[in-house]
Amino acid sequence: MQNPPDGMVQVVLTERARSRLSATTWSGLKSQPAFWHLVEHRRLRVLQVGENQIQLEATSYVGRASLDSVDIEIREKVSGALATLLKFATHEAFHIDRIESPVTQLGELAALLVRQFLLSVRQYVSIGRDFQYSRQPVVSSLSGGRLDIVKTISLRARGFPHLVAFDREFIDRRTPTNRVILAALRETEKLAALIRLSQDDIAMARGLSVFFEDCRDPEIVFGKRERLADVARRLSTEPQQTRHRDLLTLANVLLSHVSFEYAERLSGTLPRAWFLNLETLFESAVRSILAELESPNFRLQPRGEHRPSIFQERKLTANPDLVLARHDDVVAVGDMKYKYLETVDWMTSVKPADLYQLLVHAAAFKARISFLIYPDQVFDMCDLGISATGCRTFVFKVDVHSLPQSLRKAMEMMTLLPVNGVAS
C-alpha cells in the first residue's frame, strides 16, 4: 500500500489483532464521531489495558477508512485472501459506512459507489427535487405576469395593439444540482462498459434519469466529463448545498472515474468506506465451490435443512457448516474455521474444542466422515483416522489462492470425488 499523505497517521491492523495507540493518535481519534461509528458497528474495538494505555483491536472485518488525520487499515490475516475471495462477494456482502475512505483508481468496487449514488438519487427524488423561480418573456393577448411596458409600447407602435408583453414566473428545476445529477446518471451507462454493474442498477439509473429530462441540454449531452466533475465538486463545497453535499460528492466521484479499491491511494478521499467480513465470505466461497463440485457421490445440503437432536430430551440440535449427503444418507459433515494455523507443526494449533464439536455433529448425523477446513496459502491435510465415535476425521488447510483446486483435492482424499476422474 502507498504511504498516507503528509500529516496523516496510518494505523494498520490485521483481523482480530491489536495495536497500541500513541497518546497523540488516540487524542485525534476519540473526538471523531466517525471513529465511534466504527466501534459501535463492531468494525473495531477499543481496549484500555492500563493507565493511559489504549489499544485498538480489529474484529473479523477488513477495510479502510480516513478519519481526519488518521488512516485506519484492517488487512487480512491470510495474505492474498481478500483479493481471491472478492470475486465471490456480492453487493450484500459489503458493509458500506458513511465514512471517508482513500481515493484510488477506477476498479470493480466502483460498482458499490454507483449503487450508493443511485440510492441517494432515489431518496432525493422521493423527497422532491430542488427548484428555482425563473422569468420567461411572453407576448400574448392576455397578460399573465409582470407587464413589460417598454416592449408593449413597441408592439403597439408596430401595429399590434391587441398584444401585451410581460414576464411570467415559473418553477424551474433546471438547477445546477439537478443538471449535475443527470450528468452522473448518464455516466452510469458509460461506466457499465468499464466495470461490472448489475442489470438492476443500470435499470434504476435509466428510470431515475427520466425525472431529470428537463435538465438535458447540449452541455450535459456533449460537455466534457472533467468539467462536469469540477462543477459537482464546486457545488458540494457551497454552504447552501449542505443538504445535498453527500449526493453531489458521489456524483463527482462517478464523473471523476475514481474508486475506493484495496490498492494504492491517490490524493483526496471519498464519502464512503466499505468493510467486508472475510470469515463469512470464506464460508460462502467454500459452499459455492462445493455446490459446483457436486457429483453422484454427494450433494451439499442447505444450511439448517436438517438438524438432528444431540440429546434425546433436550432441544439442542446439531448444525454444522457443511452437510454432504448421498440420496437420503449423510456421508460427511464439516466445519469451517477462519483461523490461521501458524506453527510448523500446525496440527498442534487445532483447538480440541473444534474437534469435539465436529465429532458431536458427525455422531448426531450418523456420518462416517467428518472434516475441518482452515484457510492458508498452501494445501495440506492430516488424516486423524477413526475416532471413538466410529467417524473418520480429516483436517485440511486449503490454499485461498486456488480454492476450487484445494477443495476438489480434499473431496478426492475423502473418496467423495474420483481421483483424476477415475472412480476409486
Confidence of residue 125 (pLDDT cuts 50, 70, 90): very high
The 10s digit of each residue's pLDDT in 258-285 is 999 888 888 888 999 999 998 889 999 9
What value does the mean pLDDT take over residues 48-77? 90
pLDDT greater than 60 at residue 132:
yes
Residue 285 has phi, psi (to 5 degrees) of: -65, -45
CB contact set of 87 (below 8 Å; sequence gap of 6+):
none
C-alpha cell at 138: 411572453
Distances (CA, A) of 326 to 158, 274, 297, 314, 397: 96, 40, 6, 28, 25
pLDDT reported for residue 337:
92
Model pLDDT, residue 339 = 85
Question: How far is residue 306 from each of residues 238, 289, 310, 336, 365, measured CA to CA in Å?
Answer: 59, 21, 13, 18, 9
Quote the pLDDT of residue 4. Answer: 55
| Other residues' Cβ atoms within 10 Å of the Cβ of residue 218 | 7
pLDDT confidence band for 403 (50 / 70 / 90):
very high
Grid coordinates belonging to 125:
427524488
Cα separation, 133 vs 146, whole angstroms: 14
Residues 6+ apart with CB under 8 A from 326: 296, 297, 298, 299
pLDDT in tens, 207-252: 999 999 999 999 888 889 999 999 999 999 998 888 899 999 999 9
Q: Give mean pLDDT, residues 77-83.
A: 82
The model carries a pTM of 0.77
pLDDT tens across 88-122, in order? 887 778 999 999 999 999 998 999 999 999 999 99
What is the per-residue pLDDT for 6? 57
Pairing relation of β-strands 94-97 and 61-67?
unpaired
Mean pLDDT of 278-294: 90
Contact indicator for 213, 170 with CB cutoff of 8 Å: no
* pLDDT (tens digit per residue) in 21-36: 998 899 889 999 999 9
